[in-house]
Each structure stands twice: as structure tokens, then as C-alpha cells.
Amino acid sequence: MPASPNMPTPSRWLPLLLAVAIFMQMLDATILNTALPQIAKDLNESPLNMQSAVIVYTLTVALLIPLSGYLVDRYGTKKIFFGAVGLFVFGSLLCASAVNLPMLVLARMVQGLGGSMLVPVPRLTILRVYDKSRLLNAINYAVMPALIGPVLGPLAGGYLVEYASWHWIFLLNVPIGVLGLVIGWRIMPDIRGDKTSLDVGGFLLFAGAACSLTLAVEIVSHTGVSLFPALLASGGAALMWLYCRHAQSVAEPIYAGHLFKVRTFRLGLFGNLFSRLGISSVPFLLPLMFQVAFGLGASLSGWLIAPIALASLLIKPAVKPLMARFGYRKVLIWNTRILGILMILLALPDPNTPVAVWAVLLLTLGACNSIQFSAMNTLTLADLRPYQTGSGNSLMAVNQQLAISLGIAVGALMLQAWRKSDIGQSDLHWAFRLTFIGIGIITFAAGFIFSRLHISDGRNLTVRSQK
């Protein structure tokens, strides 16, 4: 919404605050994967059992994102932002002091409490105080760190682990957080809104469903198929069904049921979820394979992972022309299939494969990732009415975080299953190979969801981009 007479005049440095928040979150999200083998060694855990430290953070963020708008409206942007940064920094200190995996998981949950508000609050502030004529430039400036953070994350994680200690990947958040607090104290306006009620019942049903489904997959990866995870999965499905019924019976549900009547939103959301299962597994599985199966150092592992994020950054200018030339339906169908094939190709190289081969493969994978994310996200929101965009954007963000959690859980589940087989016990690399083939097949199959799009879907977006 544009700035109104009741809104404070926005500081020209306000986008810098969002930039710091995004950088801190994206750096933390990508720096951990490279360090997991060394953390596991210090905590006397198997490196192949560390996925819970990653899953719990993304799951916590996903569940609490819907609360950000309500909390800002009720308590104001300044208090919520300071609380978010404080919780994130405090959680980082707890992570650095963890002496076992359960303590690290709990600390990551505290981090997630702060991380869930870290980006939405300054973004919401910018949307409320900036005029539409200045909004695009402000957002573009602020999101640049989201592209740079994933490039630096694997490299910083690798070098910190190899030449200092893994504790520094969390301690690094402290000075960045302090910088955010200093900037926020000077320039963050204190804005409240009109929405002071919350659909508590809907929130609890949705959160319970998401937790149950994710935990069911996570527990299976540790204990194998048993009655308890089956009950969890069934309970999660039942809670999701109850939420769908609930959303149709209340005036202001946390996620409106009419969103799913919009075909492009419905297909975009499900395509987003299933295609991200494989995409989210790769950054978790590759560093493990490089360090545990190949015996490479953490810093070299970081360099090998960095091309994925670098290609995502470099390909951005080509995304709009690509959509205009081929259309969203064709691009999403074939790009999803190409992603699946590329993940299967990750099973082919061995420890003696030249670095150049890995660089080409992972650069191509990163470019396709970027095309996929841009196309899915824009198409998902393309046909929503103005009164639906807030709820739809929030649900899409939650869906993305849940897909990351589920993707890592599914990848870990496959890896554990193959590791316990005769093939995996004799050669760990083959367990990774078969896992990459599995997630590649899942990703390839997600292309069939996008085949239900119409050839004209998204055409209004490409027409607007050419004007």
C-alpha cells in the first residue's frame, strides 16, 4: 500500500535494514550444510543423522511466518523487529554452545523463532510506508543480499570449519545482528495496523498438520517404518482436512479457502511443493557426499557447492525473456524435467572426477533452479485478486519453507534406507548415487503437475514485462 498522510516519511536507508535481515538469514541458511560433518564429529553423531538440525529451523520458520502480520499490527514493527533479531542472535549463541544434537536442535528452534519474523517485518514496513513509485527500487535494492548470501554461505562455512571451528558459523550472526539493531534503532518506524485478531484455531490446525507430516518422515529416517510415524502421518492428514473445513466456516481464516479456487495458484503451489522436494535435498546431500563419501575438505566442498548459487545470480536477467519467448507452461514443464535429469546425473561422477565437470554440472543446476523459482513464484500469484494477495503470498512463503523441511527429510530418508542396504554397506557412495536418482525421479515427475497449466497462463505477466 502507498504511504499515507498518517504514515511516517520513510528513511531512504530503510531498505538497508531489510538487506541486513535477508543477508543474515540467507547466510545462516546456507552456511550450515557445509559444516554438518564437522559438527557431527564434535557432537559424536553420524554425519548422516544431522538433518534434524536443518529441518527444525525451516519448520519453525514456516509455522510462524503467518503470525508476523498479526504481531506487527498488534505490537508495532519496531518491537517485533527488535525481538526477532534478539531471538535470532540468542539462538545463534545457544547453537554455538551446544554440546549434543538435542541441544543443537532446540537452539535451532529458538533461532527459527527469530528467523520467522526477521525478513517479513522489515519487508512489511517497506510495503506500508513507501509510495508505489519508489517501492520496486526499494525492494530490488533490499533483496540483492538474498542472491549474494547463498554464494558466500558455503564458502564461509567451509573455511570457518577448516581453519577455525564450526562454532563460528553461528557466532558470525552476532555482529551482523548487532548491526541490524543499531540500524533499526535509528531508522525503523513504529507502525501498527488494524488487524488485531487472529484465527487461533486455524493456526493450530495448520501448524499441527505441518509438524505431524514432517516429523513422520524424519522419524522414519531414524527408526524405519513403524506404527508411530504412520499414526503421525495419518494425524497430520486428518488435521489438514479439518483445517480445510475450518477455513470455509470462519470469517477471516489464516489462509482463505477461496485461494484454491484460483487454478494457477493451486497448481503453482503444488508444483512448488513437489519440485522443491528434490531441489531442497541437493544442498544438504552434496556437502555430505563430498566430505563423508569422497573425503574432501570442508573448504573445497564449499567451493564445489558455490556454483549453484552463483549461476542463480547470473541467470536472473535472462528469466523474463525466456518466459516471454516460450511461455510459463512450456518453461515449467521442461525446466522441471531437466532439473530431474540433472539430479540423476549427480550420481555419475566419482571422487576422481575433475572439478571442471562438477562446476559445469552444478552451474547448469543452479541456472535451472533460478528459472524454476522465478517462474513458479510469479505464476502462483499472477491471477490472485488484490484482496487475496496478502494471504496468498504468506501461504506461498510457508509452502516454500515446508518444502525445504520435507525435501531434506525425504532425502535423508532415502539415504538412510540405501545406506542400510547391502549396496550402501559395501560402498557409501552408491547410497548417495541411488538417493540422487530417487530425488531426480521425484523432481522429473513434478513436471506433470505443470502440464495441467494452460498455454495462456502467465501471458499477462510477459506482456506487462515487455511494456
Start-end of H helices in 352-388: 355-382
3 state DSSP class of 119: coil
Q: What is the pLDDT of residues 172-219, one digit of tens each?
A: 889 988 888 888 888 778 777 776 677 888 888 888 888 888 888 777
Place of cell 530431474: 340
CA distance 374 to 325: 15
Q: For residue range 330-377, what is the model confidence (pLDDT) as tens digits?
A: 999 999 999 999 999 999 999 999 999 999 999 999 999 989 988 888
Domain parsing of the chain, residue ranges: 10-189, 199-253, 260-467
- Indicate if 260-467 has the same CATH topology as 10-189: yes
- Reported as a single tens digit per residue, the pLDDT across 377-415 is 888 877 878 777 767 877 888 888 888 888 888 898 899
Tell me: the pLDDT tens digits for 17-36?
777 777 777 777 778 888 88
Residue 425 above 70 pLDDT? yes
Tell me if the domain spanning 10-189 has CATH number 3.40.50.720: no
Look up the CATH architecture of domain 260-467: Up-down Bundle (1.20)
For residue 95, what are the CA distances in angstroms to 119, 154, 168, 194?
21, 18, 10, 37
Residue 142 has pLDDT above 70, yes or no: no
Burial class (CB in 10 A: 0-12, 13-18, 19+), 355: exposed
User: Which residue bears the cell 577455525?
Assistant: 164
Percent of the chain whose pLDDT exceeds 70: 89
Q: Is 315 helix (H, G, I), strand (E, B) or coil?
A: coil
pLDDT the model gives residue 207? 86
Average pLDDT (36-54) is: 88
| CA distance linking residue 203 with residue 354, whole number of Å | 50
Half-sphere exposure of 319 (CA within 13 A, CB side): 24
Question: Residue 42 CA to chain centroid, in angstroms?
Answer: 27
Q: Which residue did the predictor score with more confidence, 199 or 111? A: 111
Q: Report d(CA 76, CA 80) in Å as an integer.
A: 7
431: nearest Cα among 291, 301, 289:
289
147 pLDDT band, cuts 50/70/90, is low
pLDDT score of 145: 64
